Amino acid sequence: MSRIDRREFVGRSLQAGSVAAASVGVLSASDQSRPSEGKPDKHPRGKADHCIFIWLGGGSCHIDTWDPKRKGDPKAKKPGSYYDSIDTAISGVQLCEHLPHCARMLDRFAVIRSIHHEVIDEHAAATNRVHTGRPTSGTIVYPSIGSIVAHERGPAHEGVPAYALIGYPNVTRGPGFLGAKANFIYLTDTKAGPAGLARPKDVTVSRRARREQLLNRLRRDYRAANPQDSAIRAYDETLSQALKLSGPEFMRVFALDKEPAGLRNSYGGEFGQRCLLARRLVESGVRFIEVSHNLNFVNGTGWDTHNDGQLKQHLLIQELDVALSGLIQDLESKKLLDRTLIALGTEFGRPAAFDGGGGRGHHSKAFSLILAGGGLKTGTVVGETDELGMKIVSEPVSIPDYHATIHCAMGIDPDRVLYAGDRPVPIVDLGKPVRRLFG
């Protein structure tokens, strides 16, 4: 056998790897978008066309909301739920007493009480985990679930974005390696549309037209000289879309005062108006809308209920109850609920024990998230936790499983492979959908 030196071995290995990668790329390009001919789908496919993702930033306590346990006492340091429980539309299932509206219509919900992940102490890492379905990486920025839905399905109508964020922007909600085209538009004030889309008062229509003509010349010349610059091409596409969105048609979506006063009131306060806007965005054709709850910290700490944050947690729960139930009723009345999946996200749950200040710490090993509408089999509870909500007893559902369920409900194959450069990245990191939620 002839011997080769180290340099030659490495060279041959790299050459072989390049050929293999090219072959994978050719195969994946043809097979990514649909299952093989004649073979059944590996995963269930739902019928939802839109998703409203409600974000409870800070870490909502599951045993004080969706998975109540025996009552505790922070003064006596007795672990347990902070509130009493009430019956619901699902026989034998109870919720916190501050969720009466949702309790009465819990047959429209699937309550998943066995969510878990491994990130406990750091809010940003846990937020990233729930939004992307993956751990934070030092080598790749993964796309959020909103950006993946935007990338895979695009807007439902012309002249609207695929992805809107009603809240503060950050990389966790962003497109990662998918690029600018899968990014969101965002706003924090429901009284007007996104500030970046509004034409400044001192810029007349004719002045804007002249600016666009100049910009188009610059773009044309640059792209002719740099045809391989994919980043600029993606940016140009995003900019063109933004110019379309700034027109009067899309901006009318933000005119909440056109809705009947009674309907607006049924949604409740500021957060409720965000949810009402989400419904209007669904009607306009936006595919994925994230709605952040409690940007103004109604209880002083948000859902991060350490110490005194626990004392006014009921204000958050009541606000969520009114807005969420109002959204479901409104979508149902407009025959949109079966086509609109409502998903709830939060970093982690809270332990049954109380801390020194009477609040709670972090707990990611067992907590609750919900799904509603979207054509799923609702009126059910998935999973069970122990007597204090600390451990999962049955049907564990990981964050990738939760993502896979959402994607399948939206008609997206969670095993489909995307590419970060040459690196293959499945849409979901080994997650499997909760099959019994599908018909």
Ramachandran quadrant class, 57 (left: phi over 0; alpha: psi -120 to 50; beta: rest): beta
**231 is a domain residue:** no
Q: Which two tokens stand for residue 226?
A: 């740099």
Structural domain includes residue 283: yes
Contact present, 24 and 424 (Cβ < 8 Å): yes
Distance CA 343, CA 51 (A): 7
Domain membership flag for residue 187: yes
E strands in 148-278:
163-166, 185-187
User: Tens of pLDDT along 289-340?
Assistant: 999 997 766 767 889 999 888 999 999 999 999 999 999 999 999 999 999 9
CA-based torsion, 196, 197, 203, 207: positive or negative: positive
Assess if residue 8 is contained within a domain. no
Q: How far apart are CA 217 and CA 204, in angstroms?
A: 20
> Angle 49-54-55 (CA atoms, 0-180°, nearest 5)?
140
How would you label 367-376 residue by residue, b for 16+ Cβ within 10 Å and e otherwise?
bbbbbbbbbb
The H or E element containing residue 53 is: strand 50-56
Domain of 355 in residue numbering reads as 41-198+246-437
Between 198 and 120, whose confidence is greater? 120
The residue type found at 88 is T
Note whether residue 94 is domain-resident: yes
| Length reported for the chain | 439
Which tens digit of pLDDT belongs to each residue from 61-85?
Answer: 999 999 999 999 999 999 999 999 9
- The helix/strand/coil state of 15 is helix
370 phi, psi to nearest 5 deg:
-130, 160
Tokens of 285: 């054709």
Does residue 389 or residue 245 have the better pLDDT?
Answer: 389
- pLDDT tens digits, one per residue of 95-134: 999 999 999 999 999 999 999 999 987 999 999 999 999 9
Number of domains in the chain: 1
Judge whether 225 lies within some domain.
Answer: no
Cα radius of gyration rounded to whole Å, the chain? 24
Q: What confidence score (pLDDT) does residue 309 get? A: 86
- Which residue, 119, 126, 166, is CA-closest to 146? 166
Assess contact for 174 and 184: CB atoms under 8 A: yes
What number of other Cβ atoms are within 10 A of residue 254's Cβ?
Answer: 21
How far is Cα 261 from Cα 169, in angstroms, rounded to an integer?
Answer: 30
Q: Is residue 23 assigned to a domain? A: no
**Residue 101, φ and ψ in degrees, nearest 5:** -65, -45
Does any domain span residue 92? yes
Tokens representing 116 are 């878990």
Domain of residue 251, CATH code: 3.40.720.10
